[in-house]
Amino acid sequence: MSRSRPGPLDYLARWPLRAWMVATTVFLYSPLLTLMVFSFNNSRRNIVWRGFTLDYYAQVLGDDSLIQAFINSLTIALISTLFSVLLGAATALLLWRFRFPFKAGLEGGLALPIVVPEICMGVALLVFFTKVLPWPTNMVWPFNLGVIIIAHISFSFSFVASVVRARLASFNREQEEAARDLGASEWRTLIDVILPHMRPGLVAGGLLAFTLSLDDFVITFFTSGPDTTTFPVKVYSMIRFSVTPEVNAASTLLIVITVALTAIALRLQGSDGAAATAPH
Amino acid sequence: MTKPAQSIITFENVTKRYGKVIAVDNVSFSISEGEFFALLGPSGCGKTTLLRMVAGFENPDEGRILIDGKDVTDTPPNRRPVNMVFQSYAVFPHMSVRDNVAYGLTVEGVGKAERLRRAEEALALVKLDGYGERKPDQLSGGQRQRVALARALVKRPRVLLLDEPLSALDAKLREQMRFELTQLQEKVGVTFLIVTHDQDEALAMASRCAVMNRGVLQQVGAPSDLYEFPNSRFVADFIGQVNMFEGILSRDDPDRAEITCAELTTPVFLDHGVTGAAGSTLWIAIRPEKIELKGRKDGEAKPIMEDAPEGANVEPGFIRHISYLGSESVYEVDLTSGRRIKALRSNLTRWDQEDFQVDQPVWLAWHACSPAVLLS
Ligand SMILES: Nc1ncnc2c1ncn2[C@@H]1O[C@H](COP(=O)(O)OP(=O)(O)OP(=O)(O)O)[C@@H](O)[C@H]1O
Ligand SMILES: [Mg+2]
């Protein structure tokens, strides 16, 4: 073959590009790797390697307040994901299906929690829940987490709605009409035909909502109280004194859990995403 | 053919508007039980809209639609005794072929054994036996269409609605499906209402057609009626090929008429009377295959058509172009007025195609009963 201009993928074979890729990989993954490695380091000072130990994991698992924070985080993430998916899916369906006044406004407003700086959201929610709608303190677990859950739903449902809305755009309306034509009621059509099409969007949106909630710091920091610490907030309070191996160990656990959940969800999405996007 | 008496779908002054666009304009006609009825017309003429109103996805702004004599205006699509094959087939991608076909029965609440039996039956009907386990993405376009057909037929509808069912298939498959659809219709005996913009398709399959133009119903009739007795310039032109001349009714008796056309040297003679005021403008349409070609030499007398007065219905011209199509040849002939017209001649023997050459002078002749007179 004669020499020709390289195609876009050929550039990957050139050395500047390779160097650049190596650099990104290093800067992206080496901090994480360091964190994980030092969680096994048998030394209180995180500087030199002093041998392997699982002591800090034992300490983390023995630390009641850390475990409580962890359980809080998971509970908040689960409940807020559930509601975000329900609300987000309903909103997406509404925007996709119907025409109504101020629709454009609602669609724009939906993007607000995505673009508004998180710190502002945090302050706004703090003011709202202390001044406008005070959430009763000293409620029993898990109702004391209500404020945080509502705060998380309020920003993550719009992510779900956006993802599901995008998925619905590829729906062939003739399928809905076909179901109606074959005798299905509107509800039946929604359940039998539209929901299966939405599913990859629901999974992706749910995943997004879950991880957003699990690792949210800023908004949670403003809305959590002494009894309602979440894992990120707890970690933050721990490193205010020093970065201890316990923090490393706890963070490693969080990373592993998040990655595992993501993998599972992506796998779920992959299997029926393929079927749902087949050419019709 | 015996004419079935029972009317199964009746359109009564049906009008549908989208904003300022009148998609369907005061349409009235009815379809009888057992017919293979085609809605024919150019793109955007309102065929799909009419079909969707039967299915219940749109409602008429004015007028009403009767199915089996009952006004269905307030009946939602899921309660109408009609089923539709969609243009995109709309097969449910997440269900197996069997579940797709059985879907209508599932929502109806038909028991499982009965459901499966009828689904298999329907699959066999469209020659898809053994495909039940497959997912739609493992089927070809033609097979997906068969699934859509089976899925609609399994409900035993009173009328099967098909929107451009053949448009997405390749030429060869289209040809075959035309045949299969007519066979299927004879087999199941269900009334078919099919939408198409392909006149060949409509003529080949339908027992009756309705021709629409810009929302207005132009003519309803058997394919041969539409072809031989069009009621307007639009229908004459839309169905098949035609040579059209504008003229003035110069003579009108009960058993004969003459129309003077500026583009022809002699008036067109007709062996029947015309409904129209003397002196009014009208049009005549002559199909290419109804024009006879005869060789012409200089100084030779005009040939005489036995069913017309001397000189009438014969025109001199020159062949300008010949398209040899195997079974027939199309001759494009310039008249002395400069008007170009088409004549079609079957190649009855292997030497017929050599009878005429380009630039040869010829006579064009037609019988007094061949031209169609059009008032609009
Ligand atoms: N939902 C709609 N909203 C607005 N206008 C519409 C709608 N559906 C159809 N129309 C208009 O109504 C007219 C008839 O449309 P219709 O789809 O019935 O045409 P058609 O005969 O099926 O054409 P084609 O052969 O291209 O499918 C067109 O002018 C079209 O633009
Ligand atoms: Mg159409």
Is A8 part of any domain?
no
Tell whether A101 and A186 lie within a shared domain.
yes
| Strand pairing report for B159-163 and B82-85 | parallel
pLDDT the model gives residue A276? 41
Is A16 part of any domain?
no
Question: Beta partners for B269?
Answer: B258
Nearest CA to ligand 1 atom 5: B18
pTM of the model: 0.81
* Domain residue limits, chain B: 7-236, 241-299+311-374
Tell whether A70 and A90 lie within a shared domain.
yes
pLDDT of chain A, 280 residues: tens digit per residue: 455 666 766 766 677 788 888 888 888 888 888 888 888 888 777 677 788 888 888 888 888 888 888 888 999 999 999 999 999 999 999 999 888 888 888 888 888 888 888 888 888 888 888 887 777 777 777 777 888 898 899 889 899 999 999 999 999 999 999 999 999 999 999 999 999 999 989 988 998 899 889 888 888 888 887 778 888 888 888 888 777 788 888 888 888 888 888 888 777 766 554 444 433 3
Tell whether A168 and A264 lie within a shared domain.
no
Tell whether A191 and A261 lie within a shared domain.
no
Tell whether A203 and A119 lie within a shared domain.
yes
Q: What is the extent of the structural domain holding A278? A: 253-280
Is A17 part of any domain?
no
Task: Determine the residue of B49, B88, B197, B198 to mutate for testing ligand 1's pocket, defined as the one with the most ligand atoms within 8 A of the Cβ atom.
Answer: B49
ipTM: 0.81
Tell whether A135 and A106 lie within a shared domain.
yes
CATH of domain B241-299+311-374: 2.40.50.140
CA-based torsion, A77, A82, A83, A87: positive or negative: positive
Tell whether A167 and A264 lie within a shared domain.
no
Fold of B7-236: Rossmann fold (3.40.50)
Residue B350 has pLDDT above 70, yes or no: yes
Question: Beta partners for B17?
Answer: B22
**C-alpha closest to that of A205 among A120, A109, A93, A81:** A81
Tell whether A78 and A183 lie within a shared domain.
yes
Tell me the C-alpha distance between A254 and A210, whole Å: 13
- Token duo for residue A18: 């390779």
Is A247 part of any domain?
no
pLDDT in tens, B69-106: 899 988 999 999 999 999 889 999 999 999 999 999 99
User: Which ligand 1 atom is at minimum distance from the Cα of B58?
Assistant: 1
Q: Which CATH number is A220's domain given?
A: 1.10.3720.10
Tell whether A272 and A223 lie within a shared domain.
no
**Which residues in A159-185 are b (16+ Cβ under 10 Å) and which e?**
bbbbbbbebbeeebebbbbbbbbbbbe
pLDDT in tens, B134-182: 999 999 888 999 999 999 999 999 999 999 988 878 888 888 888 889 9
User: Any CB–CB contact under 8 A between B27 and chain A?
Assistant: no
Tell whether A216 and A175 lie within a shared domain.
yes
Which of B92, B105, B144 to probe the A interface (max A CBs under 10 A)?
B92
Is A23 part of any domain?
no
Strand (E) or helix (H) holding A24: helix A15-38
Count of domains forming chain A: 2
End-to-end CA distance of chain B: 31
Tell whether A135 and A260 lie within a shared domain.
no
| Strand pairing report for B159-163 and B191-196 | parallel
Tell whether A161 and A267 lie within a shared domain.
no
In residues, how long is chain B?
376
Is A60 part of any domain?
no
CA distance A87 to chain B (A): 24
Pocket of ligand 1 (CB under 6 A): B 18, 21, 23, 41, 43-49, 197
Q: Tell how far the Cα of B21 is from the centroid of ligand 2, in angstroms.
A: 15
